[in-house]
Structure 1
């Protein structure tokens, strides 16, 4: 017995927001943490990453800087970026192991972004806050996932290379301008973006291979390499 067709105008209707809960949670964590930062201003000073930290042997800023932001516009930009580009990564990494792998990727990209920024500016005394490096890591990872059905494009796929070049051109433009919308007039850490992006686009390969194998363990074999 067939069920009746849906009412006219409702067929094929999709929810306005179809992001995975993990991506939504990551995006919402940013304004929540900034509310805490506003109430405890010393967190920004203590948790920021300073380039001199590398010479002084202080490493905590590599992890805590991504939890802080310059202002509400900065928060909004990074939250929107996280919501958009975390989605394809979260859809690939399912289950409890997937949550752990997702946050491993995110934190690693943020750490490598800050570390790369510190190495480029070693010997200077510059502070940095923001999740932009980690978000650019998600952008790099999603570059190899967009348009696929649960597999990771090869690193040297033409579309991957084209999109990566476009993102780096945008990032370089921010560097030349010296600031970006939402940064509150502060200089943009475009070097951190670049290091985060490269980390994400590389690390999604082995991570994606693991979860793709799990996904198709009892299904069709994988004819698409994951690099």
Structure 2
């Protein structure tokens, strides 16, 4: 059975939690023994070898970096530019995984079909690259809409306009507001580029507005 995981924060785990995801879970958790800088240290559940064991050959892999305005208690970056830079570090990790043959980025239907055929034909999945479709969870790091085209050029194919709380383009979980003008324009530009809308974290007001605007 071929399995698709539709959401994995792989680069965040690699960079912020300092997990070498090319290693088995047992090694990752052993290396975290005694650490308490983050919740659930020593309880990692995902790495690239474990995905292969579960026959998970394709994932939607995220970039994520929140902007927080003054007074916002959520963790995040103090400027959109800082958030953008953080996502570029995450992108560099994915690119390193591609260079090492650990992962394979999928940007179009042709590449998707080729990956599926290759995965299904492989008798030994233990060394096969995991396919990934790149997604941005929360659009705060897009400094302006020119950055959307930059992101599309490096392979970003899905965007969730919001994550938790108030966002620059839309409000998400535990917040409430209509889409702002930037958010509406973001959806139109995503349509133009043929990108995927991830509505998971949109607050109710923004969700229903997005369905009216987004045609993709």
Query: Structures share a fold, TM > 0.5?
Result: no
For the pair shown, the structure with the greater C-alpha radius of gyration is: 1
**TM-score of the two chains, using structure 1 as the length reference:** 0.30
State the TM-score, normalized to the length of structure 2. Answer: 0.31
Higher helix share: 1
Structure with the bigger RCO (C-alpha within 8 Å, sep 6+) is: 1
Structure (1 or 2) with the greater strand fraction: 2
